[in-house]
Structure 1
């Protein structure tokens, strides 16, 4: 059975109070892991590099998202007046949430591109990876989502003179968010990560093949089977597969269910969509964990700290 637009919005509003409460509980873990990552990097002078600033900024975007979830949870539970709810929806509604996710995902793209550039063009990377250039990139990571998502929403609301709670009734705004901005925000990190790691692996294979041809008399030894190539580059491939797989598990179910829910207005899709939302939030818990695992300098310092703690408690 399909619901009318108003009935569907009412059902969604009731469910959102529950999902914000669950999201707030999950967000506590995200708050802890991302705060720890920032504090750990800032506490070690050898880790305070321009490239690690990208990771810290991405963790800061998660903290912003967590604060937004806490704010929305408190508002959905404690506030009953419709007028105040309209103001809350203006400040921290869906466009603001999508903006925060956009900021986080652009950082995810930048981390993959930074890894690509540092491996493929190491000398240019050393020359260009200055504090000034990294700062400009980070500012753009925050400004682009705000200008492309939040600002157009505010402009549309102002032009049409619509109430904050009724922004979704503006067909142009809702279609722009659901069918243009949301797919870009969700799928861009997948595409960038896959392309970056593919180029890295291809570049390494090419360099190894070239070196082999220059140093080996038997050229047949330089031509490896696909299976041997996979074994040779298993660490990079495993890293790519893990990052992409975890991201897909977290975001793709939400995107599919949300799109089906918006298009069909089926009441049975409301609960599964909100459950899928929690997977997106859970991904932000593992973001700094993956960063520590895949960055050798951070991993070494982290293992040293764990070893020292173990020796003290032993």
Structure 2
């Protein structure tokens, strides 16, 4: 397994990201190697914890509009970069990235930081990973907010929008990370913001994790993680802690997933779920402050 680290020089010109870098060593079980996982950690350690998990092909920059507002509201905020993304270490072999390993790495992250009483916010692959953590260790999670995400088992036909995205991600000669983010938002990003999503990747080979993610989504029952996701749903159907769905009205990839979640998870009952207006797939870009307003108001109810 060959690892590379992004240089801080790649991030010196990105806008509105004043957060101090933090790193923790994550153990990869199969190789025995340590990998650096980067994370933002803002707010007082004794304040209630909000864990923000990003997806594909973004990084913690996606949460720059939400982190300061959550801290101002009295929360500690942790926003990690998944292995292969942002300022975290990147593995150059595509096949080494598996769904199961991503879950192992994030589990190790939570263990090493000793996180408990977690208020989880997850979007895109942040949900595919984060909801598996909730199912594995429900006692660690005080609440869950799902936004434009799902936990697929492969039992249902994937959406046409996802299949188009999957095909594009594997066939495009150069993976245009920043343009992908822009293509899935309602708002218009500045050139500097588009660059910020490209910044973690000094070379095309460094995008191995981003390239691999779309192929790992369970779209059939023979996917290696299909059975484990089915078992996770069995646990989530008993999860009674508060659970809120805040989905965007302009995301064709996850449209309707909120209805399934609300039906399956007991903790969703009686909650103020909302479809966010002008919310694209990367809803943090389009509705960041509005999401925080909804979350903080909701947190104060329990």
TM-score, length basis structure 2? 0.22
Structure whose residues are more often strand by fraction: 2
Identify which of structures 1 and 2 has the higher relative contact order when contacts are C-alpha pairs closer than 8 Å and 6+ apart. Answer: 1
Bigger radius of gyration: 1
